[in-house]
Amino acid sequence: MGTIWQDLSKELTQAVNAAGKWIVAVDGRSGHTSSGIIWRSDTVITASHSVRQDMGVRVLLETGRPVSARLIGRDRGSDIAVLKLDQELGSPAEFGNTTSLAVGDLTIAVARTRRGNIVASAGIISGMMGEWQVYRTRIDQFIRPDLTLYPGFSGGALIGPDGKVLGLNTSGLMRGKSITIPASTLTRIATEIASKGHVTRPYIGLMMQPVQIPESLQKAAGVDTAIGLLVMHVEPGGPADSAGVLLGDILLKIDSIAFGSLDDVHELLDRKGTGQEVQATLIRGGQKTQATIKIGSRPLG
């Protein structure tokens, strides 16, 4: 038993030290540091909520030596921020695949202090789900590690048995609870931020609320949908306004897909993407009508 314990301990230590070369400390809120992952040789990904200032951000290396960094952009919906450095730091992190990750797998959170020390916290994966939405952002997987994110751990990496980065740890998305943004989501969002400086969200320019459609109105309009979305506001000049959608219309379907909530509409639009045209089925004045809406884009920091 002692030999097995020693071997496991040695393997964990080696994994932490190997991943440590990809982890930096980030000073983005007046002396309080978080952690970051070297994404490209001169680019670091960190937790957006821990970068409270846009100017004067510094990245602290192994020796605690500071390097000036510039905030390229952030996405508060996914709690991801991207920093550009004044110099190259070396090889970027190697990202692993989280699709085979399972509840009970042993993982390690790796972070770095402002003095340059590597710190770690270990635990199993306590919760896994598929794709989920948070603040209009699509996260490829819900990953909840059962470990402690001590102060400064947000923005650091979760590593698996092979030592590769499975994702970015944060306590900023679920009221202080520790979750991990998977590597696939990190790459997708960081790439868009690096390219545009922000993440765009598809939108059609409507403010709506769910309503129950009486059977009498369903029969009169010739529809079989019991729940719709009542249009409370149409953004002037927005996509829906340009398509002729009016205040008081009831939105029933988009591309023949019915929905029961605003979240369903947001998810559908996110899947379609900006620039795509969709067919909206509406009730107007007791009659069914159609409108072709071209999905627009709205930057959200």
What is the predicted pLDDT for the residue at 175?
74
Looking at residue 299, its pLDDT comes to 53
Q: Integer distance in angstroms from the first to the last C-alpha of the chain?
A: 52
Express each pLDDT in 26-51 by its tens digit: 998 766 899 999 999 999 999 999 99
CA dihedral (121, 125, 127, 131) in degrees, to 10, reads 100
pLDDT digit string, tens, across residues 282-296: 999 999 999 999 999
Residue 301 has pLDDT above 60, yes or no: no
Maximum average pLDDT range among 35-39, 129-133, 238-242 = 35-39
Instruction: Round to whole Å and give the CA distance between 165 and 157.
Output: 6
Mean pLDDT along residues 51-67: 84
Question: Model pTM greater than 0.75?
Answer: yes
Q: Exposure pattern of 252-269 as b/e (b: 16+ CB <10 Å)?
A: bbbeeeebeeeebbbbbb
Q: CA-CA distance, 187 to 148, in Å (whole number)? A: 25
pLDDT score at 229: 93
| Residues linked to residue 90 through DSSP beta bridges, in sequence order | none
pLDDT at 133: 77
pLDDT score for 31 = 67
Distance, in Å, from the CA atom of 242 to the CA atom of 40, rounded to the nearest integer, reads 41
Q: Which residue has the tokens 């030596």?
A: 65
How far, CA to CA in Å, does 224 sit from each of 264, 281, 300?
18, 12, 36
Fold classified for 201-300: Pdz3 Domain (2.30.42)
Which pair of tokens denotes residue 98? 């989280």
Per residue, what are the HEC states of the chain? CHHHHHHHHHHHHHHHHHHHCCEEEEECCCCCEEEEEEEECCEEEEEHHHCCCCCCEEEECCCCCEEEEEEEEEECCCCEEEEEECCCCCCCCCECCCCCCCCCCEEEEEEECCCCCEEEEEEEEEEEECCEEECCEEECCEEEECCCCCCCCCCCEEECCCCCEEEEEEEEEECCEEEEEEHHHHHHHHHHHHHHCCEEEEECCEEEEEEECCHHHHHHHCCCCCEEEEEEEECCCCHHHHCCCCCCCEEEEECCEECCCHHHHHHHHHHHCCCCEEEEEEEECCEEEEEEEECEEEEEC
Evaluated on CA atoms 4, 8, 9, 10, the torsion sign reads: positive
Of 36-45, 174-183, 263-272, minimum mean pLDDT range: 263-272
E strand or H helix that includes residue 56: none
**What per-residue confidence (pLDDT) applies to 144?**
95
Q: Is the pLDDT of residue 1 over 70?
A: no
Indicate whether 3 pLDDT > 90. Answer: no
- Cα(207)–Cα(229) distance, rounded to whole angstroms? 9
Task: Supply 250's token pair.
Answer: 């009831």
Domain ranges of the chain: 2-192, 201-300
The pLDDT assigned to 30 comes to 66
Question: What CA–CA distance (Å, rounded) separates 155 from 36?
Answer: 5
Of 18, 12, 112, 109, the C-alpha closest to 61 is: 112
Select the CATH number that applies to the domain covering 2-192 from these four: 3.40.50.300, 3.30.2290.10, 2.40.10.120, 3.10.20.30. 2.40.10.120
Which pair of structure tokens corresponds to residue 244?
């002729």
